[in-house]
Amino acid sequence: MADDAVRDETLRLMGAYQTLIAQKKWDAWIDLWAEDGVLEFPYAPKGRKARYAGKAEIKAYMSGTAGKVAIDEIADLRVIPAQDPRIAVVEVSVKGRAPNTGARYDQSYVTVFETQDGKLKRYREYWNPLISIDAQGGDRIAWESSFGSPEAKT
């Protein structure tokens, strides 16, 4: 497949990802992923899992985050196709709130989408977890027990 067609497919997949996650359509959303896809949070706080591998683990984590924040507005959005047509970077700033506390949730993200054979192979999300912790009441221990998955103990 030519680079332009691959890039178009990557951007289409990225758009479907954003739409389906906003709609909480988890079954359709997880179908976008490769069976061995990887979801990564390089800035996960200590004690929190930073890498989810495989569709079952990714879906369990992401569907468990539903309702933790409500996005009221996309304040800024920038899509940056990479030289590699299988990769795209998104910069997005959102304005929102934590429904359980009413606190503001104004967050900026940088995400890297990497595709393979028309499926999402790797997704890396860079964000500030302190904003999430503050929006959930500022209690890191309470946040850790209710948001995401603990780091696997081996």
Contacts 24+ apart (CB under 8 A), 50-54: 50/151, 52/149
Residue 115 is predicted with a pLDDT of 96
Residue 120 is predicted with a pLDDT of 97
Residue 149 is predicted with a pLDDT of 61
Question: For residues 130 and 135, what is the distance between their CA atoms, to the nearest angstrom?
Answer: 8
Residue 148 is predicted with a pLDDT of 61
User: What backbone phi and psi angles, to 5 degrees, belong to 77?
Assistant: -145, 130
Residue 31 is predicted with a pLDDT of 96
User: What backbone phi and psi angles, to 5 degrees, belong to 113?
Assistant: -100, 130
Q: What would the CATH number be for the domain defined by 3-146?
A: 3.10.450.50
Buried/exposed 33-67: b ≥16 CB within 10 Å, e otherwise: bbeebbbbbeebbeebbbebeebebbbeebeeeee
Query: Residue 11 is inside which H or E element, if any?
Result: helix 3-22
Residue 6 is predicted with a pLDDT of 95
Q: How far are the Cα atoms of 8, 37, 67, 112, 139 from residue 84, in angstroms, in the given order?
A: 12, 18, 35, 12, 41
CA 8 from chain centre, in angstroms, equals 21
Q: What does the pLDDT profile of the chain (154 residues) look like in tens digits?
A: 799 999 999 999 988 988 888 787 889 999 999 999 999 999 888 778 899 999 999 998 888 777 778 888 888 989 999 999 999 999 999 999 988 889 999 999 999 999 999 999 999 999 998 898 888 888 777 677 666 666 654 3
**Structural domain boundaries of the chain?**
3-146
